[in-house]
Amino acid sequence: MNGLSVKHLLGIKYITKEDIELIFQTADNFKQVINRPIKKVPSLRDITIANLFFENSTRTKLSFELAEKRLSADVINFSASGSSVKKGETLLDTVNNILAMKVDMVVMRHPLPGAGQFLAKNIDAVIVNAGDGTHEHPTQGLLDAFSIRERYGEVAGKKVVIVGDILHSRVALSNIFTLQKLGAEVKVCGPATLIPKHVESLGVGYEPDLIKALEWCDVANMLRIQMERQDIQYFPSLREYTLQYGLNKNILDGLSKKITIMHPGPINRGVEVSSDVADSEQAIILDQVQNGVAIRMAVLYLLAGKID
Ligand code: CP
């Protein structure tokens, strides 16, 4: 295959299975690079990338920046806090001012769903969505599926349950699209109030009982309860949520088989997973973080071929 089918990475919905496979093959090579004593390659020399973060981030921001530096790109970082956004500047004006500094690619996290699409329609740079509100977080979906492939050899045929706050989760949607395109079976589990009404129309099953969901799956992806996006109360209390949907070591050890535990971070220890589950040998949470750098290097490298 000759490069990606898209100019921007706005969501997994808009890319093909072949695109995902190409990103994974490229990430396999970059994973070898970042485990060498000399971790840097000159692939993006003379390319300038702006990381625009209008919303908080630890993993995604650091991971993109490291990926860009490993590829020898020139990098500028922008956070909405402390910027002129606070003085009323529009998104388009902010980005056009940054582009006037001759930027080739923009990596953007934004609280509004569709912010990446808006930029892609209005500016010339290549856009990478680093999470747009409750819509998509495509590189998270890619790194999660890549981590499953690394654990099991392939994604096709695997059973994955995504547990928790599906309603507010861009990670859930990008995971669903990625896993289904690669041939995995996906279910969601959580309180009915946190499950989108249309979820079954995506070909995703709903299992309200945590133990049944865990007995069914090979992999459980435990999501964070996103209090910052919840405008009303969706369950009685966090304690009640943890009693119904929190994964602890007793539950994990009581299952009839060993399953793999994932979490996109940041973890609320003691809420969606207990500390001994998060730190257990069945958890691949830090492998996900390590794979995030290789996946983001692959995405940036492949999209750099689309710069006009
Ligand atoms: N997984 C994830 O998106 O984490 P951050 O919000 O810290 O970037």
Q: Return the residue whose CA atom lies nearest to atom 5 of ligand 1.
A: 57
CA atoms within 13 A of residue 166's CA, in its CB half-sphere: 28
Q: How far is the CA of 295 from the centre of ligand 1 (A)?
A: 15
Q: Is the CB of 205 under 6 A from ligand 1?
A: no
Distance CA 55, CA 246 (A): 27
Q: Is the CB of 275 under 6 A from ligand 1?
A: no
Q: Is the CB of 191 under 6 A from ligand 1?
A: no
Mean per-residue pLDDT for 17-21? 98
Tell me, what's the pLDDT at 85? 74
Distance CA 34, CA 210 (A): 37
Q: Return the residue whose CA atom lies nearest to atom 3 of ligand 1.
A: 60
- Residue 1, pLDDT above cutoff 60: no
The model's pLDDT over 85-140, given as tens digits with 9 standing for 90+, comes to 777 788 899 888 888 889 999 999 999 999 999 999 999 999 999 999 999 999 99
- Pocket test residue of 59, 134, 147, 290 for ligand 1, highest count of atoms within 8 A of CB: 59
Burial of 2 (0-12, 13-18, 19+ CB in 10 A): exposed
Query: Which DSSP string do the residues of 123-169 spell out, in sequence order?
Result: -SSEEEEEEETTS--HHHHHHHHHHHHHHHS--TT-EEEEES--TT-
Query: Residue 228's pLDDT band (boundaries 50, 70, 90)?
Result: low
Tell me, what's the pLDDT at 229? 64
- Higher per-residue confidence, 100 vs 259: 259
Which ligand 1 atom sits nearest the alpha carbon of residue 265? Answer: 1
Q: How far is the CA of 290 from the centre of ligand 1 (A)?
A: 13
- Residue 39, pLDDT above cutoff 80: yes
Indicate the domain borders of the chain: 12-137+289-304, 138-285
Q: Return the residue whose CA atom lies nearest to atom 4 of ligand 1.
A: 59
Q: How far is the CA of 140 from the centre of ligand 1 (A)?
A: 8
Q: Is the CB of 60 under 6 A from ligand 1?
A: yes
Contact 221, 163 (CB under 8 A): yes
- Pocket test residue of 51, 54, 56, 57 for ligand 1, highest count of atoms within 8 A of CB: 57
Distance CA 130, CA 66 (A): 14
CA 134, 138, 143, 145 dihedral sign is: positive
Q: How far is the CA of 63 from the centre of ligand 1 (A)?
A: 10
| Cβ within 8 Å of residue 301, ≥6 positions away | 26, 30, 43, 44, 71
Tell me, what's the pLDDT at 174? 98
- Residue 279, pLDDT above cutoff 60: yes
Tell me whether the CATH fold assigned to 12-137+289-304 matches the one assigned to 138-285: yes
Tell me, what's the pLDDT at 232? 64
Mean per-residue pLDDT for 164-190? 97
- Residue 60, pLDDT above cutoff 80: yes
Which ligand 1 atom sits nearest the alpha carbon of residue 264? Answer: 1
- Pocket test residue of 54, 55, 60 for ligand 1, highest count of atoms within 8 A of CB: 60
Closest CA to 124 of 308, 269, 258: 308
What fold is seen in the domain 12-137+289-304? Rossmann fold (3.40.50)
Mean per-residue pLDDT for 48-73? 96
Mean per-residue pLDDT for 241-256? 96
| Cβ within 8 Å of residue 242, ≥6 positions away | 270, 271, 272
Distance CA 114, CA 32 (A): 34
- Please state which architecture CATH assigns to domain 138-285: 3-Layer(aba) Sandwich (3.40)
- Residue 230, pLDDT above cutoff 70: no
Distance CA 190, CA 197 (A): 13
Q: Is the CB of 266 under 6 A from ligand 1?
A: yes
Tell me, what's the pLDDT at 62? 97
Tell me, what's the pLDDT at 34? 95
